[in-house]
Structure 1
Amino acid sequence: MVMRDLDRRSILSALAGTAVGVGLLDRTSFTGRDRTEVRSVRPMMGTLVTAAAVTTSPDRAASGIDAAFAEMERLIGVFSRHDADAQVARLNASGTLTDPSPELVSVLRTARRVHDRTEGAFDPTVLPVLADTLRGDTSGGSADAVPGFDEVRIRDGAVHTAVPITLDGIAKGYIVDRGCATLRRWVDEAMIEAGGDIRAFGGSEGRWHIGIHDPRGDGYLSRIRLRNGAVATSGSYEVSHGERTSGADPVIRPATARRPEEDTCASVVSSTAERADALSTAAFVMDDSAAMSILERVDAGGMFLTTSGELIRTDSWREIPG
């Protein structure tokens, strides 16, 4: 744990300075010498996860952060597709999971709603095409290569899938949300950041200052405030020139079975990290005008950086002045 008085500079640097979409800016908006920032950074989910709490009781905050990380580790054991004992890996191996946890069922149902709202742009059945891409096959294919979410069913207390699935585009946000829910039982002001997904709550002045990194280099595309909400970014931050540079996997567009070509990144602000994670994944692969329309309908804010360098924002996207 690291504890600092809040009148000092407080810098969050994830992945040793590599841009990962979003991050806490160089100073929080919280002030007051009676309060202390308690922070822990730990490797998890193929990235570095940061938990930070503002508190008058550092020992209590440290215990809360430990509890939040324990809860997130538990949930990784549900959603991992790489750990043979995890529920998603077991589902992919057999096609049926007769003992799904409430967490898995909840995320699948949210995934279904986002799939329907985004007209199929968010689709966990892209995994076979993703696997080909990670093996070096970038030829893509037709939309038929992505079977579609209708192949996944929850019925009679069991989950059934005709094809392997990935929940990577939504589960990380859900895990961050659950970590924050755990931490909220210990402190009134905190945030958790995990490789592009942030959930924050509390703040006497109101807000955590968040920067959206520019994937083309140093600096920020945008700066926003969060009080009780979340932001997530999908894009080409950690995958470039066809090579994996970190634990992040490329995003596949279900309609073409290829990587998207219109945008460099898409950021979404929403009420939960689970929702922001899924919506940013969908928005990144969609036509920008269609994505903006959908985000406005579901009361989410969005910002897109096109490959030509244009910044596009929804009307509800709110930047910090200056």
Structure 2
Amino acid sequence: MRTNANKNIIYSIILLLLVAVVYLYRQNQQKPEENIEEKVTGKVILSGNTMGTTYNITYLDPRERDFKASVDSLLVVFNQSLSTYIPDSELSKFNQKDTLFFGLPYFLPVLQSSKKVFEITGGAFDPTVGPLVNLWGFGPTGPQLKDSVNIDGMLDLVGFNKINFDSTSVRKSKQGIYLDFSAIAKGFGVDVVAEYLQGKGIENLLVEIGGELVARGVNEKGELWKVGINRPEELGRADALYSIVALDNKGMATSGNYRNYYEAGGIKISHTINPATGRPVNHSLLSATVLADDCMTADAYATAMMVMGTEQAIDLQKNQGLFEIFLIYSDSTGQLKSYASEGLKPFLSFPQD
């Protein structure tokens, strides 16, 4: 009996040792998996040139794939559709003719978005303002303004409701109408690049073209992507920030008049042309930042707000509720002031915070 008891004790000890060995083995087997999990962030940074400006892309990919060549090729095709600086682009061909049948997939979406924002803003956003943008010196050929030019007469060529389109083509209802998508194309390009990367399985990314951005997911720290809004100062440093925004799966665009202007006869000529008057805007709104679900929409509304001015921009956002805004303006004493819509405030901080 005693011998059997001793055997049972020995078997129990052996069993415990085996359990311990199995446990330690499994723990050791799990460690490499935990290390792989830590490396899954694989940060990749790309940069290049497009649309007369630069692009910067950051994304997280465990395989650390380099998509630069593909992104560059994509943007070449995109510009071949919507650039006014390429003589044989689809947009340039349409501006030279009365009708265009779409050959690339980018013209129709930008027309659809432009029409929507044109209607919501009461014409403050209007890509047919192109002839007047060119006239005042902000187009491909430089200033064309002469004493003999009848600006009021040219307003007959302005009005996006004079453009008709369907799924296959776009047509002008009046000869001489000229489209300029410079106030929406960069934002659309950002969306196109972001969508391409997402199609490759990239879930966390930040894409920027000429200051227009879209963020998806989080950065390598697991936090929302954070971007800055510049101080609207003519001679200020390019990296001088007024505020910082955390982007929660949003597109963001900023429009301003404080750097893109020239002087003529002692008068500052702003690049923002009011489609209703045909003349550069002159008000206290210095910078308009818009956050929307996509960057194309944000880009268009930011431009519209620079036409509308501070009070109308605030009213538009409150009435629509489709996007969030951050405005920087000068008060009656020339001091910088800012306004943030309620939905943006939780995502907003300032450098001194």
TM-score normalised according to structure 1 size: 0.81
The corresponding residue for 2:187 is 173
- Quick check: 257-266 or 191-200, which moved more? 257-266
The CA distance in 2 between the partners of 1:254 and 1:138, in whole Å, is 19
Amino acid at match of 2:135: D
The corresponding residue for 2:145 is 137
Question: Is the 1:80–1:86 Cα contact (8 Å) retained in structure 2?
Answer: yes
Cα offset, 1:287, TM superposition: 2.9
Query: Structure 2 unaligned runs (5+)?
Result: 1-37, 138-142, 265-269
Amino acid at match of 2:203: D
Shift in alpha-carbon separation, 1:237–1:74, aligned structure 2, 3 A? farther
TM-score normalised according to structure 2 size: 0.74
The CA distance in 2 between the partners of 1:147 and 1:242, in whole Å, is 25
The CA distance in 2 between the partners of 1:153 and 1:42, in whole Å, is 35
> Is the aligned partner of 1:230 residue 2:251?
yes
The CA distance in 1 between the partners of 2:61 and 2:210, in whole Å, is 24
Cα offset, 1:300, TM superposition: 0.7
* Residue from 187, 194, 197 that aligns with 2:212: 197
The corresponding residue for 1:56 is 62
Amino acid at match of 2:217: G
The corresponding residue for 2:296 is 274
> What is the 5 A alignment of 1:41-52?
41-52=47-58
| 1:195-223, Cα deviation, whole Å (9 max, x unpaired) | 12001111163411110011212321211
Q: CA RMSD in A?
A: 2.4
Query: Structure 1 unaligned runs (5+)?
Result: 1-31, 244-248
Structure with more of its chain in helix, by fraction: 2
Cα offset, 1:304, TM superposition: 1.6
* Alignment: residue pair count: 283
Amino acid at match of 1:312: Y
Shift in alpha-carbon separation, 1:89–1:301, aligned structure 2, 3 A? same
Cα offset, 1:34, TM superposition: 5.4
Cα offset, 1:181, TM superposition: 0.5
Structure with the greater alpha carbon radius of gyration: 2
The corresponding residue for 1:188 is 203
> What is the 5 A alignment of 1:31-110?
35-58=41-64, 60=65, 62-63=66-67, 65-110=68-113
* Percent pairwise identity: 23
The CA distance in 1 between the partners of 2:253 and 2:95, in whole Å, is 26
| 1:91-118, Cα deviation, whole Å (9 max, x unpaired) | 0001210335442111101100000000
The CA distance in 1 between the partners of 2:158 and 2:111, in whole Å, is 16
> Is the aligned partner of 1:147 residue 2:158?
yes
**What secondary structure is seen at the aligned counterpart in 2 of 1:169?**
coil
| 1:48-101, Cα deviation, whole Å (9 max, x unpaired) | 11111123221x2x13x4323322221111001121221100000012103354
The CA distance in 2 between the partners of 1:228 and 1:316, in whole Å, is 14
The CA distance in 2 between the partners of 1:55 and 1:155, in whole Å, is 39
Question: Is the 2:203–2:217 Cα contact (8 Å) retained in structure 1?
Answer: yes
